[in-house]
């Protein structure tokens, strides 16, 4: 599993892919997948990455990491997965954004505003 996730470019390293599996962020056919699990063509995977959740169907197996164009042919993303990622991206965009002006370090007032925005106060 970790080799395939790495080859399909969901994670930059196999160690990150294995860690995601260990943390339960990878589901294969609805079951939490271990890093050593064999991947088969036709498996339905749900992969939680920093970029968002992916729901994909495995099309081709590979243990070699290649170019991005080839990696995208290893799987097909489901319509439900695309809709979910688009919805989450839209929610991220609608969240309030704080900009302190970008000139040097934030002032004490800027820091308080940041803390208030992050819910720490």
Task: Say which CATH number the domain at 56 has.
Answer: 3.10.290.10
- Which residue range(s) make up the domain with 69? 2-80
Q: What is the pLDDT of residue 100?
A: 62
| Number of domains observed in the structure of the chain | 1
CB count, 10 Å around CB of 66?
13
Domain presence at residue 64: yes
Dump pLDDT digits (tens) for 25-79: 999 999 999 999 999 999 999 999 988 899 999 999 998 999 999 999 999 999 9
Residue 102 pLDDT > 70: no
Domain presence at residue 88: no
Spatial strand order in the sheet of 44-49: 31-32, 26-28, 44-49, 52-58, 75-77
What pairs with residue 31 in β-bridges?
28
Domain presence at residue 39: yes
Domain presence at residue 10: yes
């Amino acid at each position: 599993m970790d080799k395939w996730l790495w080859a399909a470019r969901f994670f930059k390293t196999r160690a990150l892919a294995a860690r995601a599996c260990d943390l339960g962020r990878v589901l294969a056919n609805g079951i939490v997948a271990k890093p050593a699990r064999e991947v088969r063509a036709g498996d339905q995977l749900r992969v939680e990455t920093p970029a968002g959740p992916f729901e994909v169907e495995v099309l081709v197996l590979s243990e070699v990491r290649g170019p991005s164009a080839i990696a995208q042919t290893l799987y097909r993303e489901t319509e439900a997965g695309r809709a979910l990622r688009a919805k989450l991206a839209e929610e991220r965009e609608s969240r309030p954004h704080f900009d302190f002006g970008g000139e040097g370090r934030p002032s004490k007032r800027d820091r308080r505003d940041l803390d208030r925005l992050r819910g720490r106060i």
